[in-house]
Structures are given as C-alpha cells and as structure tokens.
Amino acid sequence: MHVFKTSTRLPISIDEAWAFFSNPKNLKVITPEYMGFDITSQLYNDSMYNGMIITYKVRPVLNIPIRWMTEITHIHDRVFFVDEQRIGPYKIWHHQHHFKAIEGGVEMTDIIDYVVPFGFIGRFLEPILVRPKLNEIFSFRENKMKELFGLL
C-alpha cells in the first residue's frame, strides 16, 4: 500500500472551502485540462452525500480513456469526506479530504491510500509513473486553488 499526502492553506472560510470542494462538479475545475476529465454520471445534487456514486472518464496517460467510478463513503460536514474507487485504474483507492479552520483561513489535507494493479509490474511503475503523476495533479490543484482563492 502506498500513501500520498498533501496540504494546502487558503485564505477562505471553512464554509467556503466545504461549499466548493463538496460539489463534485468543481472537480473538473481543479483537474489539469489535458486529462480530459468529464463526469459521466447524472448528478442530481450539487453537494455530495453518503453513498453517492460518481462516474468519470479521464485520460491521464497517452490520451487513453479510462472509466473511473467512485463512491462517497463517509462525510462529516465541514470536517472530512472520503471517496473510494469502485471501478478504475487502481486496485485500491481510498481518498480522504480533511478541512481544518486555521487563523486566516482553512487548511485542507488530502490523504490517499492506494495500491496499483499488475503485481510486480505495478510496483515497478509506481515510483516511475504513478507517484510523479499524483505529484503533478496535486501541484496543479494547489496552483489552481491559489489562483481561485488567493494565498495564505
């Protein structure tokens, strides 16, 4: 099992952060355009709820389309939510999103526990392909969030 963790501090209230990040439609805003990210499921609500299933199409490598399905499995309003992959490129994907009010804003922490598929080949590719791609995506997200909300 691999763990990826990153934190970002923004000069917005916890209510503003929660309103933005708990709306699945905003995921496209903070995803690099080259990934061709599209939500393919019908969203009946602008905020997530326990048991919500969200399907996507992404093109993370070589413009090859991948179907991805996640379920929102845990929500503690304005504190954290968890999405878990049901169908997609990982053997296991468990993504925690934490929100903490701090002086002058909010600190958001992402913790992702994941296992890549394909046994030895997956373990070999994780530090070469997977980890750098996660770093790239979350670096883009941090820059986009700072562009949208400012610096703390």
Average pLDDT, rounded, for the chain:
93
d(CA 24, CA 95): 14
Per-residue pLDDT tens digits for 13-56: 999 999 999 999 999 999 999 999 999 998 887 889 999 999 99
Indicate whether 61 pLDDT > 80. Answer: no
The 3-state secondary structure of 58-81, one letter per residue = ECCCCCCCEEEEEEEEEEECCCEE
Beta strands in 22-147 (DSSP E): 38-39, 53-58, 66-76, 80-87, 92-102, 105-115
The per-residue pLDDT for 17 is 96
2-149 carries CATH number 3.30.530.20: yes
